[in-house]
């Protein structure tokens, strides 16, 4: 979707991201890096149709003259529509020469996360005046092993039905006012083995996939 927002507000977010100061090796730091403002220069300059038309005249002359004008630009990826279910996939491998190597370090993630610093100021399904977009953790997938072999296990929270989430999924509207984690019991699932675990055990896991549900 191409928009022509005011340059002064095009890179604004629902909440001030500069106050975050995210901790290294955390989901907040990952999201901050993923949505950071980038400057496109030199070989990354953007082809500008307006500048090209201004330089070459009408569009029908552009292809024949092949005089394209590239310009410096700014790029930023922000969330324009907050989803009912937020799925975060961590890249747990890196290139090591000609081989791929698994990244095993622990990435911190919270039980409740606020996406507002990563949402555009005109986020479509956030009520006017809201400066928070909260999500509650309900599922984690963990991988043990190497790039060649391993085992997947999951942590899942058994909880009551979230009627507000159903409204958001079916009608695209949220009336939710909760700001605390959805109450429930966590379970660790490995093949046919299921056992209850504490939330501290969940938050210390080596997450590969994170699943959050919208609260606010």
Structural domain contains residue 74: no
Cα 215 from Cα 176, distance rounded (Å) = 6
pLDDT in tens, 21-73: 889 999 999 999 999 988 888 888 888 877 777 777 665 554 555 578 888 88
Using an 8 Å Cβ cutoff, are 67 and 55 in contact? yes
Tokens of 167: 């409204």
Give pLDDT, residue 186. Answer: 96
Q: Is residue 108 part of a domain?
A: yes
For residue 92, the domain's CATH number is 3.90.70.10
**pLDDT on residue 202:** 97
Q: What is the pTM of this model?
A: 0.81
Q: Is the pLDDT of residue 109 over 80?
A: yes
* DSSP 8-state code for residue 58: S
pLDDT of residue 4: 59
Structural domain contains residue 18: no
- Domain that residue 111 falls in: 79-173+181-215
Confirm whether 104 is domain-assigned: yes
Count the domains in the chain. Answer: 1
Give the residues across from 137 on adjacent strands. 212
| Span of 68-82, 106-120, 155-169, 196-210 with lowest mean pLDDT | 155-169
Looking at residue 172, what is its pLDDT? 58
203 domain-assigned: yes
- pLDDT at site 209: 95
Residue 209 in any domain: the answer is yes
**Rounded-to-integer distance, Cα 84 and Cα 216, Å:** 10
In this predicted model, what pLDDT tens digit does every residue of 131-144 receive, in sequence order?
Answer: 899 999 999 999 98
Is position 4 within any domain? no
Confidence band (pLDDT; 50, 70, 90) for 181?
confident
Indicate if the pLDDT at residue 177 is higher than 70: no
Inter-CA distances, 58 with 35, 63, 64, 66, 67, Å: 36, 10, 11, 13, 12
Q: How far apart are CA 141 and CA 22, in angstroms?
A: 23
Rounded Cα–Cα distance for residues 205 and 107 (Å): 9
- Tell me the mean pLDDT in the region 106-120: 94
Neighbouring-strand partners of residue 75: 38
Query: Considering the domain boundaries, does residue 10 fall inside one?
Result: no
């Amino acid at each position: 979707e191409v928009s022509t927002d005011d340059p002064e507000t095009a890179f604004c977010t629902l909440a001030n991201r500069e106050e975050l100061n995210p901790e290294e090796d955390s989901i907040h730091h990952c999201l901050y890096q993923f949505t950071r403002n980038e400057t496109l220069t030199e070989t990354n300059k953007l082809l500008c149709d307006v500048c090209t038309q201004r330089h070459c005249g009408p569009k029908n002359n552009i292809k024949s003259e092949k005089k394209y004008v590239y310009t410096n630009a700014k790029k930023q990826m922000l969330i324009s529509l907050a989803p009912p279910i937020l799925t975060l996939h961590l890249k747990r491998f890196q290139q090591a020469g000609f081989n791929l190597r698994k990244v095993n370090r622990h990435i911190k993630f919270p039980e409740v996360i606020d996406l507002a610093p990563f949402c555009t100021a005109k986020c479509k399904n956030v009520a006017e005046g809201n400066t928070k977009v909260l999500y509650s953790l309900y599922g984690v997938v963990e991988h043990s092993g190497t790039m060649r072999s391993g085992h997947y296990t999951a942590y899942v929270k058994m909880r009551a039905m979230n009627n507000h989430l159903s409204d958001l999924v079916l009608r695209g509207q949220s009336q939710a006012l909760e700001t605390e984690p959805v109450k429930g019991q966590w379970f660790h699932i490995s093949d046919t083995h299921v056992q209850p675990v504490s939330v501290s055990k969940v938050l210390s896991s080596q997450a590969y996939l994170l699943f959050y549900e919208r609260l606010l």
